[in-house]
Amino acid sequence: MLKVVIQSVFALENGLSRRGIVRNYSFGSMVNNVKNYFALRAGTKPPYHHVCQVGDPVLRLQAEPVDLEVIPTAEFKKFIDHLITVMRSYEAYGLAAPQIGVPVQVFVIETTEKNYEENSKTMRAGQPLEIVPLRVFINPKMKIIDYKTFTYPEACVSICGYSAHVPRAKSIRIDALDLSGNPFVWNADGWPARIAQHEMDHLQGKVYTDKMDPKTFSCVVWDLVNFKEGKLAMDYRPNIRSKFRSFFYT
- Asked if 92 is part of the footprint of Zn ion (rule: CB under 5 A), the reply reads no
- Asked if 139 is part of the footprint of Zn ion (rule: CB under 5 A), the reply reads no
- Asked if 163 is part of the footprint of Zn ion (rule: CB under 5 A), the reply reads no
DSSP string, 121-163: HHHHHHS----EEEEEEEEEEEEEEEEEEEEEEEB-TTSTTEE
Q: Specify the stretch interacting with Zn ion by CB under 5 A; choose among 6-14, 150-158, 166-174, 225-233.
A: 150-158
Q: Please report, in angstroms and rounded to a whole number, the separation of the first and last CA atoms in the chain.
A: 30
**To the nearest 5 percent, what fractions of the chain are helix, strand and coil?**
30, 30, 40
Catalytic residue status for 199: yes
Q: Which of residues 32-91 bind Zn ion (CB under 5 A)?
A: none
Nearest residue (CB) to Zn ion, 71 versus 168: 168
Q: How many residues bind Zn ion (CB under 5 A)?
A: 2
Considering only residues 30, 142, 156, 195, which one is a binding residue for Zn ion as defined by CB under 5 A? 156
Q: Tell me if residue 191 falls in helix, strand or coil.
A: helix
Q: What angle do CA 100, 103, 109 make, to 5 degrees?
A: 60
Q: Specify the stretch interacting with Zn ion by CB under 5 A; choose among 1-9, 16-24, 66-74, 156-164.
A: 156-164
Q: How far apart are CA 23 and CA 9, in angstroms?
A: 10
The DSSP letter of residue 98 is G
Q: Specify the stretch interacting with Zn ion by CB under 5 A; choose among 11-19, 35-43, 153-161, 163-171.
A: 153-161
- Asked if 95 is part of the footprint of Zn ion (rule: CB under 5 A), the reply reads no
What Å distances lie between residue 180 and 69, 73, 86, 183, CA to CA?
Answer: 11, 10, 21, 9
CB of 198 to Zn ion, least distance (A): 5
CB of 180 to Zn ion, least distance (A): 26
CB of 45 to Zn ion, least distance (A): 21
CB of 83 to Zn ion, least distance (A): 13
Q: Which of residues 200-239 bind Zn ion (CB under 5 A)?
A: none
- Asked if 250 is part of the footprint of Zn ion (rule: CB under 5 A), the reply reads yes
What Å distances lie between residue 128 and 11, 48, 120, 175, CA to CA?
Answer: 44, 32, 10, 24
Selecting among 64, 91, 154, 199, the annotated active-site residue is: 199
Helix (H) or strand (E) holding 89: helix 74-89
Q: Which residues are catalytic?
A: 199
Q: Footprint of Zn ion on this chain (CB under 5 A)?
A: 156, 250
